[in-house]
Amino acid sequence: MSKQQLDKLLQIFERQPPLGSLTLEEERRTLDEGGARFAVPADVALEPVDARGVKAEWLVAPGTRADRAVLYLHGGGYVIGSIKSHRYLMQNVSRHSGARTLGIDYRLAPEHPFPAAIEDACTAYQWLLGEGFAPGRIAIAGDSAGGGLTLATLLRLRDEGVALPAAGVLISPWADLTGQADAVRTRAASDPMVKPDGLFSLARHYLRDTDPRNPLASPVFADLTGLPPLLIHVGGREILYDDSVTVAANAAKGKVPVALVDEPELFHVWHAFAPMLDEGQRAIEQIGGWLHARFQP
């Protein structure tokens, strides 16, 4: 990472108003417009679909296999974010995993609090199965809240006896909604993107009356036994750093194959800035290669 690349990104972060300082509508529009600054390449096919009532979109890069799919769950604290805000990131996953990527607009809080997002993610996965995709040729991936949602979705599917996908990818996952992890305090000054007050506000919107220690809301408290292999990426500057470390430890405890990629100098979901940051592109390529090796032939 060059100093010039990092400085440009930090300038972008500094120009962003603090989370919670805008209206909900403004917050959602800001993230959507920010994600759209990276145009989806013209060679990527976009196909809107209805996944059993869940608004979804296929993003299909050249060279992908028609029988492989990545169900992608966007970040945004369960309150903001959409297909639009994450199109570039999702097509990049498609390009390097060799799989079609299905992005979904799961229901957002506060209009639709816990567990609406999990219900929609599970519905979309079941839709993929109904479309003829074999479980061993599906992966579920997500960033930030979408990373926590990926884990919660796998847990819900496991508990319901549904055949699980080949793998899960957690990018800077938000997996502890209690806000009590040490990193929330100790890394607050080093995290250029996520601050404790904004995190607490998002959690209140999503949880409403739900206990934050509910394992489907905060998967750091879940027994992960029986889940498919997991790949976790986390940056050393993140206030969510402990979430990734705890999930990795719990996965190993549950005999789940897990790989934790810890990038000490990087920040929350650096993958989204691949067009501006070499490390972001390399991280996506690493995810793609890992998924290639997990899909059943």
User: If you write DSSP's letter for every residue of 42-63 in order, what string do you get?
Assistant: TTSEEEEEEETTEEEEEEE-TT
Distance of alpha carbon 140 from the chain centroid: 9
Q: What average pLDDT values come out for the chain (297 residues) when binned by 10 residues?
A: 74 78 91 94 98 98 97 98 98 98 98 98 98 98 98 98 98 98 97 94 97 98 98 98 98 98 96 95 98 96
| C-alpha radius of gyration, the chain, whole number | 17
Q: Are 152 and 181 in contact (CB under 8 A)?
A: no
| Count of all residues that appear for the chain in the document | 297
238 is catalytic: yes
Catalytic residue among 82, 94, 144, 218: 144
Q: What's the CA gap between 146 and 246, in Å, rounded?
A: 17
Q: What's the CA gap between 297 and 295, in Å, rounded?
A: 6
3-294 in CATH: which number? Answer: 3.40.50.1820
Catalytic residue among 96, 205, 233, 268: 268
Q: Are 175 and 246 in contact (CB under 8 A)?
A: yes
What is the pLDDT at residue 2? 64
What is the pLDDT at residue 178? 98
Q: Which residues are CB-neighbours of 272 under 8 A, at least 6 positions away?
A: 35, 86, 88, 89, 143, 280
Q: Which residues are CB-neighbours of 77 under 8 A, at least 6 positions away?
A: 19, 144, 145, 174, 198, 199, 202, 203, 205, 206
Catalytic residue among 94, 238, 244, 271: 238
Spell out the domain ranges in the chain.
3-294
What is the pLDDT at residue 4? 78
What is the pLDDT at residue 18? 76
Q: What's the CA gap between 57 and 205, in Å, rounded?
A: 26
Q: What's the CA gap between 183 and 84, in Å, rounded?
A: 30
CB-count exposure of residue 52 (10 Å: 0-12, 13-18, 19+): exposed
Q: 143: closest CA among 9, 254, 37, 272?
A: 272
Token pair recorded at residue 128: 């993929």
What is the pLDDT at residue 268? 96
74 is catalytic: no
pTM of the full structure: 0.97
Q: What's the CA gap between 238 and 207, in Å, rounded?
A: 22
268 is catalytic: yes
What is the pLDDT at residue 1? 58
